[in-house]
Chain A
Amino acid sequence: SQQGEEDPQALSIQEGENATMNCSYKTSINNLQWYRQNSGRGLVHLILIRSNEREKHSGRLRVTLDTSKKSSSLLITASRAADTASYFCATDANHGTASKLTFGTGTRLQVTL
C-alpha cells in the first residue's frame, strides 16, 4: 500500500452532520497537508500541520496528527452540501532537497440535503 491512504474511501452524510476522514502514512514526515478537490477541478489547500503539532483548526475544519501512529484525521463540522468533494491527505517527507508531496487515493465525501 502507498504512503498516505485515506479511510473511508467514500462517505455519505446529511447536511449538518460531522464528517471524519482518516489518513495513514508509512514514513517519517515533516508535515501533512489536506486538500479538497471538486469533481473535475484542481486542488484547494485546506490546512497544513507540521510534525511537531498535534492539532490544528481552521474554521469548520479540525486536523489532528499522531506521529506515533503515523495517522491524521480531518474533521469537518456542521457539513454543508458545498463540502461535497474528494479530500486528499498529502505527506511531505523532505529527505534532503525536494519537497514532493505523496498523495493518498482520497475520500469521496457526499453531503446531501
Chain B
Amino acid sequence: NAGVMQNPRHLVRRRGQEARLRCSPMKGHSHVYWYRQLPEEGLKFMVYLQKENIIDESGMPKERFSAEFPKEGPSILRIQQVVRGDSAAYFCASSLGQGTDTQYFGPGTRLTVL
C-alpha cells in the first residue's frame, strides 16, 4: 500500500527555467494539497485540488505558479521562470475525503534555484 509519492525528490534549476513537481496521491484518495516549506519554517498551504478541479488556491502566488490534477495521472505543480526565492521544499498531501480526514504527506521535492 504505497503512500503519497512525489518526484523528483531533488530538483535543481537555474533562474528563469521551469520546474515541474509531480505528486501521486495514496490509492483511493481524490483530494490533493500542496504546501511549501522554507528553511526553518512550518509548512504553508498553497493549493487544494480534486480531480480536474482547483478547489482553493488562496495560498498560490499570483504569478508563475500553477497546479493541476488531471483525470488521469499525477497532480502537477508548475513553477515558471523560477527565482532564487522559490527555493524550498514542496510537499504534497492527499486525503480520502475532505473536512476532518487526515492528510498524508509525501516525502517532498526539494527545489534549489541557482
The chain A residues found within 8 Å of chain B, CB to CB, are 4, 30-31, 33, 35, 40-45, 48, 50, 88, 90, 92, 94, 97-106
The chain B residues found within 8 Å of chain A, CB to CB, are 31, 33, 35, 41-45, 48, 55-56, 58-59, 91, 93, 95, 98-108, 110
Given contacts A43-B91, A94-B100, A97-B55, contact A105 B105 (CB under 8 A): no
By the criterion CB–CB under 8 Å, are A103 and B42 in contact? yes
Residues in A with CB closer than 8 Å to B110 are: 40
Q: B34: nearest residue on chain A (CB-CB)? A: A100
By the criterion CB–CB under 8 Å, are A98 and B105 in contact? no
Q: B40: nearest residue on chain A (CB-CB)? A: A105
By the criterion CB–CB under 8 Å, are B42 and A105 in contact? yes
- Residue among A31, A43, A45 having the largest count of chain B Cβ atoms under 10 Å: A43
Residues in A with CB closer than 8 Å to B108 are: 41-42
Given contacts A42-B105, A42-B106, A45-B105, contact A98 B42 (CB under 8 A): no
Nearest CB of chain B from residue A6's CB, rounded to whole Å: 8
The 10 closest A-B pairs by CB, nearest first: A98-B56, A103-B42, A42-B107, A100-B45, A43-B105, A103-B43, A105-B42, A98-B48, A99-B98, A42-B105
Given contacts A42-B106, A88-B42, contact A100 B56 (CB under 8 A): yes
Residues in A with CB closer than 8 Å to B98 are: 94, 97-99
